[in-house]
Amino acid sequence: GAVVSQHPSWVICKSGTSVKIECRSLDFQATTMFWYRQFPKQSLMLMATSNEGSKATYEQGVEKDKFLINHASLTLSTLTVTSAHPEDSSFYICSALEGASSYNEQFFGPGTRLTVL
Amino acid sequence: KNEVEQSPQNLTAQEGEFITINCSYSVGISALHWLQQHPGGGIVSLFMLSSGKKKHGRLIATINIQEKHSSLHITASHPRDSAVYICAVYFMDSNYQLIWGAGTKLIIKP
């Protein structure tokens, strides 16, 4: 199947700093990518839908100025957590939609564990 | 309301047992994903199906559109199958967005 990578796989940062997470589709072009976060023992929660060349669509309750998403190419989307705080500590997972159909298969990255001290 | 329910929430079995995890959903769907999440957190898509049955190795996924129900079966289970299994669906009115079940935590004891 298609491969999606994320970098870094884990990051520890001080409160107030910004952290950038990259999501890449390695062997296919993804016009749409999704960003999820997962708190311990909870299900994934969709944060935003990222479309190449346009602004991301954020889910209700997700601060777009805090979680900056850039999808500048068909193989790369980035999530920047700005001015991170301990409550932002979470597991962040991206997925990429293969193809242009409404329900083509999503392929998931391995996730990035963010710890804010 | 678009809802996805999985059962059981937790399942512990002995190595070699046949495992069944169930997923029910509330209204019509376009497609359904079965995913596996290992303790490290990474998610692997096992199947995406919209009708019938799919098989990959020891894993079998079935879906009954009329009954709004899907099952994931594992034959000859092994400790390395221990993971959280998640059902997620594309509802017909949700365009791209997956609606997630709560997951089933499976532990296979040797």
CB spacing of A103 vs B31 below 8 angstroms: yes
Nearest CA in chain B to A49: B97
Predicted pLDDT at A45: 87
- Strand pairing report for A67-73 and B43-49: unpaired
Each residue's pLDDT tens digit, B78-93? 999 999 999 998 877 6
Predicted pLDDT at B1: 67
Lowest mean pLDDT among A24-33, A77-86, A93-102: A93-102
Q: How many A×B Cβ pairs under 8 Å?
A: 52
CB spacing of A110 vs B33 below 8 angstroms: no
Q: Does A28 touch chain B (CB under 8 A)?
A: no
Predicted pLDDT at B31: 87
Find out whether A114 and A84 touch, Cβ atoms under 8 Å.
yes
Instruction: Please check the confidence at residue B97 and state whether its pLDDT lies above 80.
Output: no
Measured CA to CA, the distance from residue B11 to residue A18 in angstroms comes to 40
- Tell me the nearest-neighbour CA distance from A43 into chain B, angstroms: 6
Predicted pLDDT at B95: 59
Task: State the pLDDT confidence band at A117, using cuts at 50, 70 and 90.
Answer: very high
H or E element, residue A31: none
Predicted pLDDT at A100: 60
Task: State the pLDDT confidence band at B71, using cuts at 50, 70 and 90.
Answer: very high
Predicted pLDDT at B19: 98
Arithmetic mean of pLDDT over chain A: 89
Each residue's pLDDT tens digit, B9-56? 999 999 999 999 999 998 888 789 999 998 777 788 898 898 999 999
CB spacing of A110 vs B102 below 8 angstroms: no
Find out whether B68 and B26 touch, Cβ atoms under 8 Å.
yes
- Report, as an integer, the average pLDDT of A72-99: 92
- Report, as an integer, the average pLDDT of A95-116: 81
Q: Does B2 touch chain A (CB under 8 A)?
A: no
CB spacing of B45 vs A108 below 8 angstroms: yes
More confident residue, B69 or A107: B69
Measured CA to CA, the distance from residue B28 to residue A23 in angstroms comes to 31
Predicted pLDDT at A51: 86
Percentage of the residues of chain A whose pLDDT score is greater than 70: 94
- Tell me the nearest-neighbour CA distance from B96 into chain A, angstroms: 5
CB spacing of A106 vs B45 below 8 angstroms: yes
Task: State the pLDDT confidence band at A104, using cuts at 50, 70 and 90.
Answer: low
CB-facing half-sphere around the CA of A32: CA atoms within 13 A: 16
- Residues from chain B contacting residue A44 (CB–CB below 8 Å): 43, 86, 100
Measured CA to CA, the distance from residue B1 to residue A87 in angstroms comes to 30
- Tell me the nearest-neighbour CA distance from B29 into chain A, angstroms: 10
Q: How far is CA A23 from CA A32, A102, A111, B43, B93, in A?
A: 12, 21, 9, 14, 27
Nearest CA in chain B to A44: B100
CB spacing of A49 vs B101 below 8 angstroms: no
Nearest CA in chain B to A3: B44
Instruction: Please check the confidence at residue A68 and state whether its pLDDT lies above 90.
Output: yes
